[in-house]
Structure 1
């Protein structure tokens, strides 16, 4: 905990020492960036109001500057968020050292229903290039979306089902080119209306070659290759269409989207993943449906997902499929005895499998899963103190074709209080308890996973995973200088993790030399950490700045560290915006990470990631045309993330310049 206290203290002291300078440098507080509403929060409050549900919202210029080829890359410099970094095509967000099924991925408040939570080589199917905003959320509000969201959730908001009538056609088109991978990316959105019908369309096209690396592919091996990282290219196509009928009483609408994504896995096996997904959604909202209720919202979605893991000859080896139907009904009530909140029900019905395409052992058998849940999240002001509470009851059943059916009754809850101990300052304390049903692959895996070079073995006798979390938050939310600090401790019972045993097996599970045996196991564990962030003039014109630090520790009780733990980080950025000009510079320092699980061999070295941005916006008639230049990893540092399974053989890209133009109309 010494490192945690040092990082946290450094950020807080920096905030205090900067306050006088900040207040004297700029006197205007007029924002150039509007306040952002967190759509995944039942109370739809602003980002700075989220002390009981710590949130970050990326939108506008900040989102466009940080946008990468994957969701993990886009969010990797946010407070408490790192990335799995499984090549350019697949990088999933890791929140406070927790990943996979403990971090829920949403698109417009509905599960993405891909299989990215199963393994780091699987890409998230939600596309950030056409997102209106991306939300990171933890705390009681996460209970609305699943008791398994112990680490938190990420919600990609693309407004594919429009909720308002645009009086004129509006939209945005962007094209960019990146030097490190000769990457070409074009994306766009358009919204309009015909009578009472609101219409939406969006699309994204991305193609990139293998990216350049600053050193050798394998640590300390000059014969392993340099220049470009083999098999790291990507090719993606994404199209979405939506329409709504909008009236004074509310709206009802539907959307359809199609994703195709072919990307390489820069491992020794040279695999590729050919990903396809078709998604259908309907959504409706009725204002004041009954006396005492603010609104009623209904959502339903069907997703057909498939990806094939291709070998060196581009022939399928394993085919993953997931067919999922999800429904949600939410009702928000008017204040009742001072309490305001949302309650509802959620159902999910999925058929998942990971079957051999070559007639060998199946990785995961065909498994039918169902869940039914009821949830409630409430908030009340008692004097100056704001109370928050949430609860969720859920029943999950898994039925594989091989037998060994399992059922789990899950209970989750959270309580918290926010105390504004002086004007512009507040402290919050949250306690939460969550239960998670073991995922299908954790129960029933019994076959090869070629992209990760493992032979996975589940355990159908697993108990449910339970966690108890306590979090203390303090923040300053007014003025040019703002800051926040969080400390947390999460105690797990029957934590599920993949243990690499050291045994080598063949494709059938017999002794061999092709695959590492990975057995899912359960043990008690503890995750604790601290975060701090200072911002100066974050949304106003003129100079702005940010300092942040985060650290986390994940340990198995009496058995060493959890695998793939993030490094301690500290970062700083400075920016300037005035009229048509905007520019910025950021530096993130990641410390060396040698807290390894028993089966991990290689610590990671420290790194410095220096990025910059420059943009100029000109008026063309009534439209905005923005020319921009982004620079990533300007120091050309060799960056290997401790959270990446491929850290030994696949560093992050080297120095890259991104040239682009964006038109808003």
Structure 2
């Protein structure tokens, strides 16, 4: 009974959830078999929806939003944390690269054929290291078979036509002999020329709130809106009653227009008296100076079309698994390429008065090749349940383009290996011992470099154990990790504003642990409590960055004196389940010591880029998530699932010093806003339909970048999808499925508050997609 209640109750931790026999629609499930050991784990199964980015695929999970750096780059933001704090993995191996250090670099991922994505919203540092201090996201690519398929041949062809959405084509195939060998092939493409938007690309506040009522210019808003905004003082020629005769006769002596006017009827120069004629333009009582407010677009303000929003993605992959009596060995290789524009944005933040028509758009080019080996051996010796080995080589090149010219390229070469030893159950105790090694080399080139060449080596040992009693389940874990950064010789030079005089090697020793407990409270209720203490080492950008980092519109300066972050997380979840109704409510508090953030110095550098330094302060992240669902059996009319969710997160400095409070505020900018949403899904006899809506509120907790962050209006995203499975007689196809979907049906001007581009690039407007999936 205890496992039954928990399996049922924990289904409610997934928003927009419904049951499905296949993957026609996006399905969100929670793996009940893992809940006794890991809290807040959600598995999102891929379906026929068009997911532009990994963040976009997961943004319907409570507590998770997308970074939305335009429509083509979106990383998962878990409880306000992202980047180097959220570990991104594919098939259990990290794929963090430039995407963790620069928001405009998308995470390479196949939206068509990735099987599923597992999200752990709690700190996952014990399992995946310091870069999982804010959680982890693991993509099951579908390239490797971990069990023998039921059919010896399975070929799927996917065709999608987008209307304000991408066109896509894909081919997935599995061939196996039913005994030992299973091979998977994947080939997919997505492409779009541009996205349409409901109105203007720049938000209305870019014009209405550049000049606050109390005077001056909101420089933070002006820079975010890509605007030239300044106030020019102009002399009022009608303010003085007389024209200075001497200056009229000697104009070379004048310092400006004000020199030609005076309040006196006569003037004496070099003992000569000049009679000053009356000023015919004189208006008594008018001020001597007037203000001219200059408001010019540095980048275009598009209407109806989101400029520079093209995207093109390609993926080809192959994987083969050999099965034997005690396990399997699998090898795979895959290659992903992406090319897309960063909309409404220019890396040339030109100086005042420049010719902005000559500004060049920003493009991003990504190429990633991965070679992987995975092996599992069951019961190798008396005391081991299984042994698993994962090894991979990842080559990722991410580059920014300024028009057709290269701004920078960064090559990430990463070798990884992990060994997992699961011991046999000893009474009520089960668990595993893990060893991991990662070596990463970063090399850069191009005129717009802001990172040196560096190598990072990480080694770790970790242990996780679970105690399963009749009345409760307990789990604990510990990880010891060594991280070493080494600077390599290159042509990289720091700026004159750099806090680092010379760059040197750094190393960190990290310890993380976690404790968890779960217990039923009768037949209908359950409770889970989790505590973790996790450490993260500063990454290379936080330690060594220098010079202009245009993709975040900042002169970014690292700090070699930074210490490791430590997060102490407490999470409590209450569960209820009864007759198809499921409810979960989670509250959490994350206390960070030495939380890393980019702090504004108060100065602006060339081309108006704010000068920011990596700093540390104690910070508290807290929030809640509520999920509810109800399943209704309609007999011959099928099954109906109703679900709803709400979430809120606040990221606030505990005791900010005067400089932090003045320049950055208590809350950091670009924090996720609170949301609430609902979903209705139905299925019956091959038909499936879903209608969902999510409300994003106006942000109340605002940050600063000297000037205060300006909030944008809330918005509601409404999406739908309907699909039909068909059986075609006398056809070579085993099954055909057609679907039709729509996004942003209200055509809202949707600007996520956590998006760095919210003022210049809204989400795409109303879009539709028609798709066909055929299986041989």
1:397 aligns with 2:484: yes
Aligned to 2:526: 426
What is the count of residue pairs matched by the alignment? 617
CA distance in 1, matches of 2:466, 2:122: 13
Residue 582 (structure 1) aligns with: 688
Q: Shift of residue 164 of structure 1?
A: 2.7
Q: Give the conservation status (yes or no) of the 8 Å contact 2:124–2:133.
A: no
The 8 Å contact of residues 250 and 285 in structure 1, kept in 2 or not, is answered as yes
Within the candidate set 623, 631, 640, 2:742 is matched to 631
Shift of 1:491: 0.3
Point out the more displaced range, 250-259 or 134-143. Answer: 134-143
2:720 matched residue in structure 1: 612
Q: Match for residue 367 of structure 2? A: 276
1:205 maps to 189
2:673 to 541, 562, 567: 567
Say which of 539, 545, 556 aligns to 2:642. 545
Cross-structure match for 1:131:
114
Cα deviation per residue 1:112-148 (whole Å; 9 max; x = unaligned)? 1432111211100132321111111144765211233
Q: CA deviation at 1:318?
A: 1.1
CA distance in 2, matches of 1:209, 1:594: 36
Aligned to 1:442: 542
Structure 1 counterpart of 2:328: 251
User: Does the 8 Å CA contact 1:497/1:520 hold for their aligned counterparts?
Assistant: yes
2: CA distance between counterparts of 1:31 and 1:398?
A: 46
In structure 2, how many angstroms separate the alpha carbons of the residues matched to 1:277 and 1:477?
44
Is the contact made by 1:454 and 1:515 (CA closer than 8 Å) also made in structure 2?
yes
Matches within 5 A, 1:437-516: 437-476=537-576, 479-505=579-605, 512-513=606-607, 515-516=609-610
Matched residue, 2:453? 366
How far residue 31 of structure 1 moved from its aligned partner, in angstroms, is 6.1
Aligned equivalents of 2:700, 2:633: Cα separation in 1: 38
Quote the offset at 1:337 in angstroms: 4.0
Call closer, same or farther: CA 1:192–1:663 in 2, change over 3 Å.
Answer: same
2:579 matches 1:524:
no
The one of 749, 754, 762 aligned to 1:651? 762
Pairing 1:144-223 to 2, within 5 Å after superposition: 144-166=127-149, 167-181=151-165, 183-194=166-177, 196-220=180-204
Residue matched to 1:6: none
Task: Report the alpha carbon displacement of residue 47 of structure 1 after superposing the two structures with TM.
Answer: 7.1
1:594 counterpart residue number: 700
Map 1:49-88 → 2, pairs under 5 A = 49=35, 52-59=38-45, 63-65=47-49, 67-88=50-71
Cα separation, partners in 2 of 1:57 and 1:82, compared to 1, 3 Å: same
- The answer on whether the counterparts of 2:37 and 2:474 sit within 8 Å (CA) in structure 1 is no
Deviation at 1:288, TM superposition (A): 0.4
The equivalent of 1:19 in structure 2 is none
What runs of 5+ residues in structure 2 fail to find an aligned partner? 1-8, 13-17, 24-28, 208-299, 347-360, 490-502, 657-665
- SS of aligned partner of 2:617: strand
1:13-52 matches, cutoff 5 A: 32-33=20-21, 45-46=31-32, 49=35, 52=38
State the shift of 1:307 in Å: 1.5
Classify 1:428/1:502 alpha carbon distance in 2 versus 1 (closer, same or farther; 3 Å). Answer: same
Aligned to 2:417: 327
Contact 2:620 2:652 in 1 (8 A): yes
> What is the CA–CA distance in structure 1 between the aligned matches of 2:51 and 2:600, rounded to whole Å?
31
Matched, 1:109 2:92: yes
Checking the alignment, whether the CA contact within 8 Å between 1:282 and 1:299 is kept in structure 2 is yes
CA distance in 1, matches of 2:574, 2:745: 34
Q: Deviations over 1:142-173 (max 9, x none)?
A: 52112331221111102312223334111433
Indicate the SS of the match to 2:551: helix
**Structure 2: how far apart are the matches of 1:452 and 1:538?**
48
2:400 matched to 1:309?
yes
Distance 2:188 2:534 in 1: 37
Post-superposition CA distance 1:237-258 (Å, at most 9, x none): 1111111211111111211111
1:59 deviation in Å? 1.4
**Could you tell me how far apart the structure 2 residues matched to 1:174 and 1:538 are?**
32
The 3 A distance-change label for structure 1 pair 539 and 464 is farther
Contact 2:398 2:409 in 1 (8 A): yes
Partner of 1:27: none
Aligned to 1:603: 711
Structure 2 Cα separation of the partners of residues 482 and 47 of structure 1 = 18
Tell whether the 8 Å contact from 1:113 to 1:305 is kept in structure 2 after alignment.
Answer: no
Name the SS of the counterpart of 1:365 in structure 2: coil
* 8 Å Cα contact 1:582-1:616 kept in structure 2: yes
Secondary structure at the counterpart of residue 312 of structure 2? strand
Cα drift, residue 514 of structure 1: 5.2
Post-superposition offset of 1:539:
10
Whether the aligned pair in 2 keeps the contact of 1:610 and 1:635 (CA below 8 Å) is yes
Q: Secondary structure, in 3 states, of the residue corresponding to 1:628? A: strand
* Residue from 304, 312, 330 that aligns with 1:227: 304
8 Å CA contact 1:470, 1:488 repeated in 2: yes
- Residues 152 and 226 of structure 1: CA distance in aligned 2, closer, same or farther (over 3 Å): same
Per the TM alignment, residue 623 of structure 1 is displaced from its structure 2 partner at its CA by 1.8
Q: 1:72 aligns to what SS in structure 2?
A: helix
Unaligned runs of 5+ in 1: 1-11, 16-29, 36-40, 506-511
- Return the alpha-carbon distance in structure 2 between the equivalents of residues 392 and 430 of structure 1: 17
User: Secondary structure of 1:487's match?
Assistant: strand
Aligned to 2:316, what secondary structure does the other structure show? Answer: strand
**Cα offset for 1:536?**
1.6
Q: CA deviation at 1:477?
A: 5.0
SS in 1 for 2:147: coil
Aligned to 1:287: 378
Report the 3-state secondary structure (helix = DSSP H, G, I; strand = E; otherwise coil) of the residue aligned with 2:750.
Answer: coil
Deviations 1:431-483 (A, max 9, x none): 10000000111100012223333221110110000010000001235641112
Partner of 1:240: helix, strand, or coil? strand
- Helix, strand or coil for the counterpart of 1:588? strand
- The corresponding residue for 1:417 is 517
- The separation in 1 between residues aligned to 2:35 and 2:126, in whole angstroms, is 18
Partner of 1:556: 653
| Correspondence 1:242 to 2:319 | yes
The Cα offsets for residues 68-114 of structure 1, whole Å up to 9 and x where unpaired, read as 21111111111110111011221101001111111110101110143
Is 520-529 or 141-150 further displaced after alignment? 141-150
Match of 1:25 in 2: none
| Corresponding residue for residue 239 of structure 2 | none
Mapped partners of 1:529, 1:302: distance in 2:
38
Q: Distance in 1 between matches of 2:167 and 2:681?
A: 27
